[in-house]
Amino acid sequence: MLNFLISRFIGYVPKPIVKKVSTRYIAGAKLDDAIRVIRALNGSNALATVDVLGEFVNTTEQVTLSMAHDIEVLDTFFREHVLSNLSIKLTSLGLNIDYELCCRNVKKILECATQYNNFVRMDMEDSSCTRKTLDVYKRMRSEGFTNTGVVLQAYMRRSAADIDALPRENLNVRLCKGIYIEPESIAYKGYEEVRNNYKLLLRKLIDTGAYVGIATHDEALIQDAYALINERNLPKTAYEFQMLLGVREERRSQIIRDGHRMRVYVPFGDDWYGYSTRRLKENPQIAMNVVKSLFGIS
């Protein structure tokens, strides 16, 4: 409860303190920092997906810069021979400015990824973006791109219906709980409600033949996924576990030792504050680290 209360007031914590804590969860400001972290993850038998921090941009100049950064990331992965794919936020590529502009930018990124035999995940943002993000995903799939996936959030009431509307062939979905604050009319609010819907959605995705990124740090959901994998006798190529950088590292290592594929979400960039505060609100246990930093407790 204390951790939860701390996380609710994280916006009042001085930015230098948040930055100090966030260094565990963000690779750094530069792409070189991300490459260093990816190499370490690859050395421990983990894969990565990289997020260039920055979203909800509002000028075409910022959009152009964001797309250039994404292309640079893919170029660098290929040149440096690291095992990582790319996660993109569509608002950074013009989703809220011009839908067609966003589609053109996503297409260019997917074309680059195709050239390198790499994969691009379209991240999910708040509910104002859900329909448009899924529309972009379906459009790119209809144009022949199979090297892309999308994200569904278990707290959203619409997610089960969204699964039904997605293309079946080569479907690739990251399933997470969801972190944005949404009204109860469209999102489950109860802790067990969200957990139960996560379990239902995971089974629904597996039943459709989707490749699923099981993105959770929740031990109950990890154990449920283990049970489902054993029950369905799923091959290791049918799914992967996913975790955030710096969170539950020992559990991450154990999942790898258990023989499962693991991918770690590696954010980098200058726009660290918004990401950090969302992560702290999502993971109340992390918030205690802020208090320790405030009072110099190791």
Instruction: Give me the phi and psi of 148, to 5 degrees please.
Output: -145, 150
Residue 263 burial by Cβ neighbours in a 10 Å radius (0-12, 13-18, 19+) = buried
Q: What is the pLDDT of residues 129-157, one digit of tens each?
A: 999 999 999 999 999 999 999 999 999 99
User: How far apart are the C-alpha atoms of 159 and 163, rounded to whole Å?
Assistant: 6
Q: What is the dihedral of CA 167, 222, 126, 266, to 10 degrees?
A: -100
The pLDDT value given to residue 22: 72
The answer to whether 249 and 270 are in contact (CB under 8 A) is no
For the beta carbon of residue 16, count every other beta carbon within 10 angstroms: 8
| DSSP H stretches of helix in the chain | 2-8, 15-22, 31-43, 60-80, 99-115, 130-142, 159-165, 191-207, 219-232, 249-257, 272-282, 284-294
Which pLDDT score is estimated for 19?
67
> Is 32 one of the catalytic residues?
no
pLDDT, residue 2, reads 46
**123 in catalytic set:** yes
Out of 70, 121, 162, 174, pick the active-site residue: 174
DSSP, res 288? H
Q: What is the dihedral of CA 85, 91, 93, 94, to 10 degrees?
A: 160
Report the pLDDT value the prediction gives residue 275, as an integer from 0 to 100. 66
| Two structure tokens written together for 117 | 């035999």
Whole-number pLDDT of residue 282: 57
Render each residue's pLDDT in the chain as its tens digit; 298 residues: 544 555 555 555 666 666 666 778 899 889 999 999 999 999 999 999 999 997 668 899 999 999 999 999 999 999 999 999 999 999 999 999 999 999 999 999 999 999 999 999 999 999 999 999 999 999 999 999 999 999 999 999 999 999 999 999 999 999 999 988 899 999 999 999 999 999 999 999 999 999 999 999 999 999 999 999 999 999 999 999 999 998 899 999 999 999 999 999 999 998 766 666 666 665 555 555 444 444 444 4
- Domains present along the chain, CATH in parentheses: 27-268 (3.20.20.220)
* pTM for this entry: 0.89
| Cβ-based neighbours of 92, under 8 Å, separated by 6 or more | 52, 54, 55, 56, 57, 62, 63, 66
Q: Which of 123, 141, 162, 263 is catalytic?
A: 123
**Rg, C-alpha atoms of the chain:** 18
Inter-residue contact 64 to 77 (CB < 8 Å): no
Three-class SS string for 216-246? CCCHHHHHHHHHHHHHHCCCHHHEEEEEECC
> φ and ψ at 28, to 5 degrees?
150, -170
Residue 283, CB half-sphere, CA atoms under 13 Å: how many? Answer: 22
